[in-house]
Homo-oligomer: A and B are copies of this chain.
């Protein structure tokens, strides 16, 4: 079905372009050029660039392996480490560029586009909740201290990850990612 395929191509290209250039920096023509489709075709599939960004975030979120984090095999703390190792390897694979699409949109357009802000915010909340559940499982089996509030810790770890990506990208060194693993897994969650 070529109709569906063109939509797919546009969404895939949008994820790349938004990631690399930002919401305002990635023009409709950048996206359709990258998708190899005529410029006007974007609006046959999406009423606005905002709605395309929302779909890009949905697709990006689905690739974050939150299901494996929540329910995959392995001990809870090991799953959490593997989750962030997967994200780190992805960042390293892109030469420490790009950052996280949610964080990028959050930093660039959250204040000026309520539609995008709401989707970014919901994405962060879902992610935080998934991490918190894993921490509660780890607390139940005694691998994380029971006194720590799992929601607070999960929110902190998520923020620390998002910030580490931004500093890594700006300083062009993986030091902040290394510091994330050293502090979170060797000091905080022990």
Residues of A within 8 A of B (CB): 20-22, 24-25, 97-99, 102-112, 117, 120-121, 124-125, 128, 148-149, 152-153, 155-156, 158-167, 169-172, 175-176, 178-180, 182-183, 187-188
Which residues of chain B come closer than 8 Å to A170, judged between CB atoms? 102, 105-106, 110, 117, 120-121, 124
22 CB-based A-B contacts, threshold 8 Å: A21-B112, A22-B22, A25-B109, A99-B107, A102-B170, A106-B166, A106-B169, A107-B107, A107-B108, A107-B166, A108-B108, A117-B172, A121-B170, A121-B171, A121-B172, A128-B167, A155-B179, A159-B164, A160-B164, A166-B166, A187-B188, A188-B188
Indicate how many identical chains form the complex: 2
Min C-beta distance of A101 to chain B, whole Å? 10
Taking A106-B167, A159-B160, A170-B106 as contacts, is the C-beta distance between A98 and B124 under 8 angstroms?
no
Q: Are A159 and B179 in contact (CB under 8 A)?
A: yes
CA distance A33 to B5 in the complex (A): 44
Q: Are A183 and B188 in contact (CB under 8 A)?
A: yes
